[in-house]
């Protein structure tokens, strides 16, 4: 399917690994020019090289996204290289386990800085270019904003705010034909998820318990399935979709998990 993304410039934060990598690769396959932003230069370049070797177009920007200046750098590098920005995928973040009891006011604010602030900062700095292109923003959220998890106040607050900002920005940007949507994953097998599971003393049992509660097919969502929805939302095929929070989770968040 031609999604109309050829030569569109798409920034993907955390675009070198996991869900972000899947989004970067799929958007590149559809002809988009990918700007990968993340803190690890080696990871960025590995994915950039893979995309370019496959016939796509990509570049990497090493950035600590919790710093506003680095967010501006990402936008400046993209514009210097390509002269435009058509879309922003806010994806970077980590479930850092800053809980109500286990954390502290300082750790809570740091979690917001690392998981939320760059969504706003990148959108702010990219906005003139998104307006010019009648582009769009896709935010990657989390089911934790709806379900809670326990012991992750900073991450949950960040993801709840992302849902609210999606609706707020969609309203604010309607006059400029800039669309804003969010994709919500639940249980997705990524390198970060694998590291977390393997850190548990009963990792196999815990994984089996989680998978058993995913209603559709009793399996985890793949990064490619999150990427498929994200790239669709980036494309002209979803040209009249804005302000939506879309769950790609096998029914985990909303369906009765007792379904057998």
Per-residue model confidence as pLDDT tens digits over 177-201? 999 999 999 999 998 889 889 988 9
Identify the band that residue 258 occupies on the pLDDT scale cut at 50, 70 and 90. Answer: confident
Which residues are bridge partners to 141 per DSSP? none
Q: Tokens 């993304």 sit at which residue? A: 5
Identify the band that residue 260 occupies on the pLDDT scale cut at 50, 70 and 90. Answer: low
**String of b and e for 205-227 (b: at least 16 CB within 10 Å)?**
eebeeeeeebbeeeebbebebbb
155 is catalytic: yes
8 Å CB contact between 221 and 185: yes
Taken in order of first residue, the domains within the chain and their CATH numbers are 9-186+222-247 (3.40.50.720), 189-220 (no CATH)
Compute the mean pLDDT over every residue in the chain, rounded to the nearest whole number: 96
Q: Report d(CA 60, CA 257) in Å as an integer.
A: 40
pLDDT at 203 over 80: yes
Helix, strand and coil percent figures for the chain, each rounded to 5? 50, 15, 35
Longest dimension (CA), the chain: 53
Where would I find the beta strands (DSSP E) of the chain? 9-13, 33-38, 57-62, 87-90, 136-140, 179-184, 245-247
Q: Report d(CA 40, CA 160) in Å as an integer.
A: 27
How much of the chain, in percent, has pLDDT values that exceed 90?
Answer: 94
Please give the average per-residue pLDDT across 5-34, as a whole number. 98
At 191 the pLDDT is 86
pLDDT (tens digit, 9 = 90+) per residue, 209-228?
999 999 999 999 999 999 99
pLDDT (tens digit, 9 = 90+) per residue, 122-162?
999 999 999 999 999 999 999 999 999 999 999 999 999 99
Alpha-carbon torsion (45, 47, 52, 57), positive or negative: negative
8 Å CB contact between 24 and 51: yes
Indicate the DSSP class of residue 17. Answer: S
pTM, two decimals, is 0.96
8 Å CB contact between 179 and 136: yes
Strand order in 57-62's β-sheet? 57-62, 33-38, 9-13, 87-90, 136-140, 179-184, 245-247
pLDDT at 43 over 90: yes
How much is the CA Rg of the chain, to the nearest whole Å? 18
Q: How many other β-carbons are positioned within 10 Å of the β-carbon of residue 255? A: 14
Which residues are bridge partners to 70 per DSSP? none
Contacts of 244 (CB under 8 A, 6+ apart): 166, 181, 182
Choosing from 119, 125, 129, 155, the catalytic residue is 155
pLDDT (tens digit, 9 = 90+) per residue, 59-117?
999 999 999 999 999 999 999 999 999 999 999 999 999 999 999 999 999 999 999 99
């Amino acid at each position: 399917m031609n999604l109309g993304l050829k030569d569109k410039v798409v920034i993907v934060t955390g675009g070198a690994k996991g869900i972000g990598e899947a989004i970067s690769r799929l958007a590149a396959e559809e002809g988009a020019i990918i700007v990968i932003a993340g803190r690890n230069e080696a990871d960025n370049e590995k994915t950039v090289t893979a995309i370019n070797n496959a016939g796509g177009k990509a570049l990497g920007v090493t950035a600590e996204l919790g710093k506003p200046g680095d967010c501006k750098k990402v936008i400046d590098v993209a514009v210097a290289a390509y002269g435009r920005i058509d879309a922003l995928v806010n994806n970077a973040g980590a479930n850092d386990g800053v809980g109500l009891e286990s954390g502290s006011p300082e750790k809570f604010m740091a979690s917001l800085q690392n998981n939320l602030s760059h969504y706003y900062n990148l959108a702010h700095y990219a906005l003139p270019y998104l307006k010019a292109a009648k582009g769009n923003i896709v935010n990657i959220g989390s089911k934790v904003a709806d379900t809670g998890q326990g012991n992750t106040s900073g991450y949950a607050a960040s993801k709840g705010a992302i849902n609210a900002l999606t609706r707020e920005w969609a309203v604010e940007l309607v006059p400029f034909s800039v669309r804003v949507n969010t994709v919500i994953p639940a249980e997705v097998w990524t390198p970060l998820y694998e590291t977390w599971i393997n850190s548990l003393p009963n990792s196999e049992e815990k994984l089996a318990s989680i998978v058993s509660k995913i209603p559709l097919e009793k399996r985890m969502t793949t990064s490619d399935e999150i990427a498929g929805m994200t790239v669709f939302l980036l494309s002209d095929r979803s040209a009249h979709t804005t302000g939506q929070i879309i769950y790609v989770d096998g029914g985990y968040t909303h369906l009765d998990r007792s379904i057998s």
